[in-house]
Every structure is written in C-alpha cells, then in structure tokens.
Amino acid sequence: MATRIMAGRPTPKSSRRSSNSTTRGTTTKPTAPTPTPDEARELLEIKLAQLNSLLWCCYGDGNGWFEEAGEKHRDHMLWIAADLAREAEMLLEVSRGDRGGQAGIG
C-alpha cells in the first residue's frame, strides 16, 4: 500500500500536524499569477467537480467504505476536501473580482 497521498503536491512537513496540535496547518505553495476572472471560473468548476466526486466516494452512496478506510485515510480525505473547498472559495473571490492584484492560486 502506498504511504503517500498522490492527489497533488506533497505538503511540506512543517505545515503538517505538529506533536501538540490536532488540526492541519495551511499548506505553503509557490506563488502563481492571479488568474483572470474567466480562468478563475473555469478552475472553480474543476475544483467543485473534484470536491463533489471526493465527497460522493466518502459518503454519497452510503456503502460504508469511508468508515472502513481507517482513521488515517479518513483524515487525509477530509484534509483534501478542506483544501479543495478553501481553493474553491478563493477562486470564487477572484472570479468576482474581490481579490484583484493579490497572489494567485497555486
């Protein structure tokens, strides 16, 4: 079994759980150019489709797979879902023009 999640760039160890913390840190990503509102809308559609599929696999058909995956894998899947939701929120702001001139989505 793989010991690493292959869904995206690896998260730097410094932003993962510390020994005295029970929540995920924010990931540090290279700064990318700010997408245009049209690009942000396209990326938003992609992120929401990914999030929808992930959550359907976790809960959507009620097959019990999520519960059987084990605590470590459930934690990783929820971490991915939280990252996707956060990225979707930022893309929505960019598509509306709320973040003009700020660093883009990585």
pTM of the model as a whole: 0.58
Q: Closest Cα to residue 89, out of 54, 51, 57, 33?
A: 51
* Confidence at residue 97, expressed as pLDDT on a 0 to 100 scale: 83
* Confidence at residue 57, expressed as pLDDT on a 0 to 100 scale: 82
Q: In the 8-state DSSP scheme, what is residue 40?
A: H
Do the beta carbons of residue 26 and residue 15 sit within 8 Å? yes
* Confidence at residue 79, expressed as pLDDT on a 0 to 100 scale: 93
- Reported as a single tens digit per residue, the pLDDT across 68-102 is 888 999 899 999 999 999 999 999 999 998 644 44
